Amino acid sequence: MKKLFCFTMAMFLVAGFAFAGTINLPKTGQTKCYDESGESEVEISCTGTGQDGEIQAGVAWPEPRFTDNGDGTMTDNLTGLMWTKNANLPNGTMNWNQAIDFCNNLTLGGYTDWRLPNVNELESLINADEANSATWLASQGFANVQASYYWSSTTSAYDSDLAWFVRMWYGNVSGNSKSFSSYYVWPVRSEQQNAPAQIWKTGQKTSYYDGDDGDLERGVTWPAPRFADHGNGTVTDNLTSLMWTKNANLGGYKTWQGALDYVASLNVSHYLGYSDWRLPNRKELFSLIDHSLYNPALPVDHPFTIVQTYNYWSSTTYDYNPDLAWSVHMWYGNMDYGSKSDVSPYAWPVRGGQTGSQCSNSCVLDGQHIDFNEMQWGNPLKSDYMVISSCFLDPDYQEIYPCRAHIGIDLMAPQNTEVCSICEGRIVGAPQTVVKNGDPWNSRIVIKCDEGGFAAVYGHVIKQKISLKDGTPVTKNQPIAVVGNMESNSHLHFGINTLGAVYFHVDGKNKCNNWGFGQCPANATPEEIAGHGWVDPINYLCLHGTSE
């Protein structure tokens, strides 16, 4: 049977693509989309909406999400945090000081390092796809989860008499007086250090009570500098690897649908050279907040301009009432819901990170299932069918294209597997394209894709099925060659780059001395990545790939 190598990829960016001191934000959990009219509970197809339910940006939640340790504790396999299984151990409510003291003095499961969670840790328990997160958490194995307010250990920067709380029913994050004695307590402790989506520090450094957020400062340390201004209208957050528009008020205030439509219009016009802008989800927007500051509640070294100290729309619908959507207030840093018809919030476009609903979470190659959920940047995937490679160079063509590092993937495939073009474009002729039927190791086809100006490189192929003359047109999904015979290591090398360079080594030469895993762009600065046009092939495959 003829074997096809037309495929779909799972993620917008490879998990773990990050610089030192960075984190991977998780998905919000939302998978549903709603009619733009805001009619309650009118669920629609997500395709083309730009809503959180379509994009689903972030690290996928592990299955199971939580593990019951059998000792009165539960481990969150997404964040690595350990929580008490009983979400109401005091069997009642407390004020803020009492809540901290209770956690500091708790011994459970053989552990004595329990504490009151900070606001980022507490928010991580919210499932934006559920009308009541407390009910969902109970279904995951927790006991006595209250559909009510829980204290965090984080003090409000606006007023130190207030502390942040998270409401486990709706998922809103706000503040109240520390003397208020009607909030619940849920102890936490740090457990796994290599979890998929570790929680980051809140930014709070001043302590108001022993054992509070400012005292302990738990979470991943922010990189310094926190932001990289590329000088082209974009800013990368070095903590999350998300790229934001430098102008935080591009389109003025809008309704929720107006904000989604505005971001979509930026993609049509390829704003700042990109066509994958999106309205951030609630976690992405909340990740910008520095809980040590207000007006605005952004890190002190931020380079953004025209930041509005008001609400900014997220792409995430408030599931309890789909007439509403989540927003983050840039004066205080709180997260709340508002009517989608409200014309006062603003839109702040973002791009990058992991997204996934546009593509499936796996592909099928010659009847074998390949799961992409465990990809890690610069490391081999533990699979018989795929290895991800981070940084290949092509010293043979550095006179044509200056020697730079690029990225690509090796997809393990049996010999004679048919290779299809991932895009519509034209052949880039010799010396870039060379097919030697008896030498697949040193054979490749290069196609300049019409959309986005990418060059797609197909290495280790033989028996071309099209003319390799420079300029030969190629249609998307068109068979172009087959995978060569490399005995037990037969595979297709695929990569893309905006520079159009071929970037796997040839004939064992390696003049640039930068061969192997984890060399680039993991060791490059954000400015170098933006300046040289490094592009993740998973990104391109996901947006432009084909499915069987």
SS3 198: coil
- The contacts of residue 82 (CB under 8 Å, 6+ apart) are 69, 73, 74, 75, 76, 109, 111, 188, 189, 190, 191
Q: Are 386 and 410 in contact (CB under 8 A)?
A: yes
pLDDT in tens, 251-265: 999 999 999 999 999
Task: State residue 1's pLDDT score.
Answer: 28
Euclidean distance between CA atoms 261 and 527, whole angstroms:
29
Kindly write down the DSSP assignment for every residue of 492-530, as one continuous string: EEEEEETT----S--TT--TT---BTT-TTTTS-HHHHH
The helix, strand and coil proportions of the chain, stated in percent and rounded to the nearest 5, come to 15, 25, 60
Give the Cα separation of 516 and 249 in Å (integer): 42
Contact 251, 347 (CB under 8 A): yes
Q: How far apart are CA 497 and CA 477, in angstroms?
A: 19
> Which of 443, 441, 460, 447 is closest to 421 using CA atoms?
447
Confidence (pLDDT) at 451: 63
Compute how many other C-beta atoms are within 10 angstroms of the C-beta atom of residue 407. 26
Which residues of the chain are under the pLDDT cut of 70?
1-21, 37-41, 353-414, 422, 431-432, 451-455, 486-548
Question: What domains, with CATH codes, occur in the chain?
Answer: 4-12+359-544 (2.70.70.10), 66-216 (3.10.100), 222-351 (3.10.100)
Nearby residues of 148 by Cβ (< 8 Å), 6 or more positions away: 134, 167, 168, 169, 183, 184
Cα–Cα separations (whole angstroms), residue 72 to 69, 107, 136, 184:
7, 11, 19, 18
Identity at 230, one-letter amino acid code: H
pLDDT, residue 306, reads 97
CB of 263 closer than 8 Å to CB of 279: yes
Q: What is the pLDDT of residue 405?
A: 31
CB 145 within 8 A of CB 134: yes
CB count, 10 Å around CB of 142? 21
- Whole-angstrom distance, CA of residue 319 vs CA of residue 130: 6
Question: Contact, 136 vs 193, CB < 8 A?
Answer: no
Vertex 402 angle, CA 381 and 475, to 5°:
65
Residue 47: burial class (beta carbons within 10 Å; 0-12, 13-18, 19+): exposed
| C-alpha of 16 from chain center | 9
Question: To 5 degrees, how large is the angle CA 176–CA 180–CA 183?
Answer: 85
